[in-house]
Amino acid sequence: MIRFCIRHRRLVVLLWLVLTAALVTAAVARPGPANDDFTLPGSESQQAADLLGAAADSPPGTLVIAGPAGQAVADLVGRIDGLPGVTVGERRVSPDGSVTAIPLDYPDQATALRIKALRDGFHAPGTTAELSGDDFADFTPGGLAEGLGLLAAAVVLLIAFRSLIATALPLVIGVVGVTCGVASLSVSSHLVDVPSFAVYLTIMLGLGVGIDYALLIVTRFRSSLAEGPAAGGVTRDVTRDFTGDAVDDAVTTAMRTAGRSVAFAGVTVIVTGAGMLFLGPSLGGGIALAAGCGVLMVMLASLTLLPALLRMIGTRIDRFALPARSGGRPPAVRWSRVVQRRPWLTGLLAFALLAGLALPALQLRAGWSDAGDRPVSDTTRRAHDLSARAFGPGLAGPLVLAVADASVPVPDVVERAGRTPGVAAAHPAGERTAIVVPATGPQDQATTDLVHRLRAELPEPVLVTGSTAAAIDFARHAAQRLPWTVGAVLLASFLLLMAVFRSVVLPLKAIAVNLLSIGAAYGVIVAVFQQDVLGLGASGPIDAWVPMTLFVVMFGLSMDYKVFLLSRVREEYERLRDNSRAVAAGLAATARVITAAATIMFCVFAAFGTFDDRALRIMGVGLATAVLVDATVVRLILVPAAMEVLGERNWWFPRLTFSRLPMNRNVT
C-alpha cells in the first residue's frame, strides 16, 4: 500500500477528489433523515405509549402569551390557525390570568418555521408571545465551532512545525476526512437511525484525531528526511523497502512507524466507539456510526492521501519556514528526572489531584436536557420560564397514565394519583388515559422519585409514561448496560496493548491511569453542568446518552497517547536496558509532538463547548478535560512516577506464543 501511494501519488490524490465529490454529491442529493425518536422496547413507558398509540402524543408546540389577550393576540392566533394543517387547541389560563398557553398541532418542520416567523412579527405593548417545542429552538449556526477549532489547530501546528506547508498538510487531511465522514454518515442514515446531533460528533472526533494523526506522520517524515535512511534507531523491518531516494525512504519510514501507530490508534477508537452498541442498535447504533465514520475517513486519508502528498511535496515541506529555535536540553528530560527522584511523592500527589477532580462524579445523575437549559435568548427558554412561573414547573413534563385494563375506572386512578405526594394536579384525558402534573420540574430528583412512587403504588394495569418517564427508563437502561460496555472495552484494550507492548504490567497500568483521567473528566462535567459550581444558572442531570458515549470515546482517545509514549519508552528500554533512562528518553522524544497533538485536540473539543445544545457542550467540555488531564498530569507525572516505582517489573511478560508479535516502534 505504501509503495502504491508513493508511485501512483497523482492517481491517489485524484481518487480522493473523486471520492469526496461523489460522497458530497450523494449527501446533498439525497440526505438521510435524522431520527431523534428513540424507542426502548420492554420499558414501561414504551408499553404505555404502544397501548395508547396517537393518544399518548402531546401537541409538538405551544404558544405562550404573557399579558393582556387583546386584538393583537387574537390576530396572531387567527393567522397561525389559518396555516395549512395547523390545529389550535383549547386555551389554558393561569390562575392569576396573566399567562395563556395555547397548544399547537402542525404537520411538519416547514410549518413550524412559518409559525415562528409569525411569532417574530408579533408586536403588542405590554404583551409577549413565546413558543415552546423543540422545533422552535434556536441553535448555533453550523461552522462556528469548527472554524474556531481549525483556527486554534493552525496556530498550534505553526508553532510546532514552524513551516507553512507542514502546517497546511494536517489541516487538509482533517478537512478532507471530516467532509467524507459527514457525507458518509448522511448517506448511511438511510439504513441506520441517526440522531440529529450525531453529525457534530462526527465533526468533533474527525477534526480532533485527523489533525493529530497527520501531525504524527508529518513529524516523522520531517525527522526521517533530515536524518536519512542510515539514521540510528531504524529497524530492519522499516528499511527493507528503501529505494535509495531520500524522499521515498522518508515517506516509507514515516508510514511504517508513525503510520502503523495511526492505524492502531484509529482502529482502537473505532472499536471502543462500537461499545455504544451495548445500548442496542436502535439507541447506540447511530452514535457508534457517527463516531466511526469520522475516525475511519480521517484514518484512511492519513494512511493513503497523506503519503501521496508528502511524496509530491518532498523536500519543499520546509519551504517558507520560520526561524528555527535554539537547541538545548529538552525540558521533558529535566522534568522526568524531578519525578523520578521522588516517584512516590509525585505519583501520590497526581493521584490525589485526579481523585479530587473525580469526586463529584459520585453524584452523577442521568436524565435529559429540556428547554430550561437553553439560553435566555431562545424563545423556547422564555416560554418554559413563563409556563413554570404561571402553571408550576411540572407542566413542562406531565406524566401520562395508561390504563391497560378497561375494568379499572379512570376516575379512580385519577383520584388515587392526585393523593400521591409530589403531584400538583391530576385529571382524566380520555377513556383509558389520565394526566398527572408533578409539583416539581422534569429534571428534579423529586420528579424521578414521583415516577417510581406512582409505578409502585398505582394498580398493576396502570402504566406511567410521558417524556419524563421515558427519560428515566432510558437512563436506567443506559446505567444497566454501562458495566458491559466498560468490561468489553477494558478487555479488548488489555489484549491489544499486551500484544503491542509485550508486557502484562504496562497494559494494566495504562488502563488504570486511563480510568483515572476519565473519572476526572466525569467529575468536571458533573461539577460544572449538574452542580453548577461556575454559577452559570442552569444545573440539571447529565443527558443519559452522554456518560457511555464519553467513556468509549475518551478511552480510545486517551489510549492513543499511552501507545505513542509507552511504545517509544519500550524502544528505548530495548536499546538501553535501563528502566529509568528509558522512561526519561521516551518522554523527551515524544514530549513535543504529543503536547502539540493534545493541544490541538483540546482546542477542537473546547470549541464545541460553545454550542447552545447542552448535551454537546457537555461532550465538548468532557473530552477537552480528559485530553488536558491525560496530556499533563497523567503523561508528565503519573506515568513516569509509576514506571519508576515498578522498575523492571514493567517489562514482565510470560513466554507465550503471541510474545513474538511485532510491536509498534518509532511512533513519533
DSSP result, 629-668: HIIIIIIIIIHHHHHHHHGGGGG-----GGGGS-------
| Nearest partner of 201 among 284, 297, 292, judged by Cα | 292
Is pLDDT at 535 greater than 70 in this prediction?
yes
Q: What is the pLDDT of residue 361?
A: 92
Q: What is the pLDDT of residue 410?
A: 85
Say how far apart CA 109 and CA 132 lie, in whole Å: 14
Q: What is the pLDDT of residue 182?
A: 92
Is pLDDT at 14 greater than 90 in this prediction?
yes
How confident is residue 612, by pLDDT bands cut at 50, 70 and 90?
A: confident
Q: How many CA atoms lie within 13 A of 97 on its CB side?
A: 2
Is pLDDT at 538 greater than 70 in this prediction?
no
Query: Cβ distance 417 to 423 under 8 Å?
Result: yes
The arithmetic mean of pLDDT across residues 328-354, rounded, is 79
Q: Which long-range contacts (CB under 8 A, 24 or more apart) does 372-378 make?
A: 372/396, 372/441, 372/443, 372/538, 372/540, 373/538, 373/540, 373/614, 374/137, 374/138, 374/612, 374/614, 375/138, 375/612, 377/138, 378/137, 378/138, 378/612
Q: What is the pLDDT of residue 655?
A: 66
How confident is residue 478, by pLDDT bands cut at 50, 70 and 90?
A: confident
Is pLDDT at 665 greater than 70 in this prediction?
no
Q: What is the pLDDT of residue 144?
A: 63
How confident is residue 57, by pLDDT bands cut at 50, 70 and 90?
A: low
551 vs 144, higher pLDDT:
551
Which three-class secondary structure state does DSSP give residue 87?
A: strand
Q: Which residues contact 563 (CB under 8 A, 6 or more apart)?
A: 261, 264, 265, 268, 497, 500, 664, 667
C-alpha to C-alpha distances, 15 to 248, 259, 605, 649, nearest whole angstrom: 21, 20, 30, 49
How confident is residue 59, by pLDDT bands cut at 50, 70 and 90?
A: confident
Task: Look at phi and psi of residue 466 and say left if phi exceeds 0, alpha if psi is from -120 to 50, else beta.
Answer: left
Query: Cβ distance 147 to 175 under 8 Å?
Result: no
| Nearest partner of 540 among 606, 638, 448, judged by Cα | 448
Domains along the chain with CATH numbers: 1-30+163-327 (1.20.1640.10), 61-132 (3.30.70.2690), 330-376+481-668 (1.20.1640.10), 377-472 (3.30.70.330)
Q: What is the pLDDT of residue 236?
A: 38
How confident is residue 524, by pLDDT bands cut at 50, 70 and 90?
A: very high
How confident is residue 197, by pLDDT bands cut at 50, 70 and 90?
A: confident
Highest mean pLDDT among 171-175, 216-220, 574-578, 588-592: 171-175
Highest mean pLDDT among 225-229, 262-266, 436-440, 653-657: 436-440
C-beta neighbour count of 565 within 10 angstroms: 25
Is pLDDT at 561 greater than 60 in this prediction?
yes
Average pLDDT, the chain: 82
Is pLDDT at 493 greater than 50 in this prediction?
yes
| Nearest partner of 298 among 591, 618, 616, 604, judged by Cα | 604
Q: What percent of the chain has pLDDT over 70?
A: 90
How confident is residue 482, by pLDDT bands cut at 50, 70 and 90?
A: confident
